[in-house]
Amino acid sequence: MDEVLDTNPMSSPSSAAILAAIRDTGGVSRADLATSTGLSKAIVSERVRWLVGSGLVEETGANASTGGRRGTALSLSRSRGVVVGAEIAMTHLQVTVFSLAHELLWEERVTVSMRQGPEPVLNALERAVEKGLTATKAHHPLCGIGVGIAGPVEFETGRTIHPPVHPDWHDQQVRDRLQERFGVPARIDNEVNLMALAEQMVGQGQQVRDLLVIKLGAWVGAGLVSNGKLHRGAQGSAGSLVTTQGGDHIAEQAELLATSGRSAMLAKASTAGQEISARLVVECAQLGDTACRELLDKAAENIGQVLSVVVDFFNPATIVVAGRMAGDNDFLARIRETIYGRSLALATRDLQIVPSALGPESASLGAAIMIIDEITSAGLLTRTARRLSEAPAR
């Protein structure tokens, strides 16, 4: 893999390889990079010098000694260059600004529903991005934008394809709109794919080669990591699950429980004008409402039945369950029980089924991870380096 030293470092594949190693590991030394990439120490030294000079990489101190001279630790820049990671969820936006080293600098949650149509949501997203960039201007320039959307996304074009919430959401060119508006590369994906990226890097999926991430939201979606790589499928629709037992369906069934009086707690809440939601059903079940518990048990069993087929087909090592219903221990236990009872014994022998620990920011974190990977790849490395070098020094 060695190259001659006079190769232009800006367009050199070795620069991208070294940057990927720094990005994925962090705190590595030049000697570590020579070992992990197979490049000569001279090539590594030259490329690192260029990456540091361009503002992409910074030296963060000395690594622990392993017997010889301590090497200097390297990471992506914490002080120069930012990306936006955002989630367009069914009922809200989660907008964040991260450094190139994945450090959270700013975040905001905006209440807006996808059922209002694309324009109110995308306008609110653009306003929130502007607000975040203003708040983090000391770390500029903006280098890229990543967005996860609650619905089918054609990854190659960055457009939405028939999200089942509002007819105007079909064929929204979200990627192109953001690139034109902010003048930087943008990437758009399904939100659960991005949650899987976040779990793989900093969550329950670290060191897991075959991972399944499930989001229990308005509907049930999945993100798949196969052999260490996110699997999107041919068109980007991998992870769609054939089950209706998401939060919207549970809320519809809960309305019937409230109006019929089968659930005294839901009936009281409805009379008081409180919204009947899946979250409320979980709260009532935890307080001892039998009808709510039965509703959740039925939904969990249905979800478990669908996932048992996925487990037999995909054979993941770990399933991470995220979303607003994942915090109900009984609900998660029923899903586990169904999967273990219906899937092949070999597929479940070492299978771990765990709740996510990343919280509501996991999709926006995954969006930031996605766009950082993109802008530091061989195809966009030159553009990113030039953007950093042309920005005013601070």
Read off the pLDDT of residues 96-106 as tens digits, 9 standing for 90 and up: 999 999 999 99
> In terms of Cα–Cα distance, which of 231, 194, 230, 239 is closest to 98?
194
Q: Measure the CA angle with vertex 233, ends 336 and 19; round to 5°.
A: 95
Domains in the chain, start-ordered, CATH in brackets?
Answer: 13-76 (1.10.10.10), 82-197+361-390 (3.30.420.40), 204-357 (3.30.420.40)
- Label residue 70 by pLDDT band (50, 70, 90): low
Q: What pLDDT was estimated at residue 246? A: 86
User: Rounded to an integer, what distance in angstroms lies between the CA atom of residue 163 and that of residue 153?
Assistant: 8
Predicted TM-score (pTM) of this structure = 0.90
Read off the pLDDT of residues 252-311 as tens digits, 9 standing for 90 and up: 999 999 999 999 999 999 999 999 999 999 999 999 999 999 999 999 999 999 999 999
What's the distance, Cα to Cα, between the start and end of the chain in Å? 37
Burial class (CB in 10 A: 0-12, 13-18, 19+), 393: exposed
Q: What pLDDT was estimated at residue 329? A: 87
> In terms of Cα–Cα distance, which of 290, 259, 298 is closest to 276?
259
- Label residue 178 by pLDDT band (50, 70, 90): very high
Dihedral pair phi/psi, residue 299, rounded to 5°: -65, -45
Read off the pLDDT of residues 193-228 as tens digits, 9 standing for 90 and up: 999 999 999 999 999 999 999 999 888 999 999 999
Q: Is the model's pLDDT at 4 over the cut of 90?
A: no
Burial class (CB in 10 A: 0-12, 13-18, 19+), 175: buried
Read off the pLDDT of residues 117-174 as tens digits, 9 standing for 90 and up: 999 999 999 999 999 999 999 898 999 999 999 999 999 999 999 998 899 999 999 9
Q: What pLDDT was estimated at residue 1? A: 46
How confident is the prediction for the chain on average, in pLDDT?
91
CA dihedral (352, 373, 190, 197) in degrees, to 10, reads 10
User: Rounded to an integer, what distance in angstroms lies between the CA atom of residue 189 and that of residue 367?
Assistant: 8
- Percent of the chain whose predicted confidence (pLDDT) is above 70: 93
> In terms of Cα–Cα distance, which of 268, 269, 167, 166 is closest to 218?
166
Read off the pLDDT of residues 5-26 as tens digits, 9 standing for 90 and up: 445 666 567 888 999 899 888 7
Q: What pLDDT was estimated at residue 5? A: 47
Cβ atoms 59, 25 nearer than 8 A:
no
Q: Is the model's pLDDT at 248 over the cut of 50?
A: yes
What token pair was written down for 259? 């109006």
Handedness of CA 332, 338, 340, 344 (dihedral sign): negative
Q: What pLDDT was estimated at residue 14? A: 85
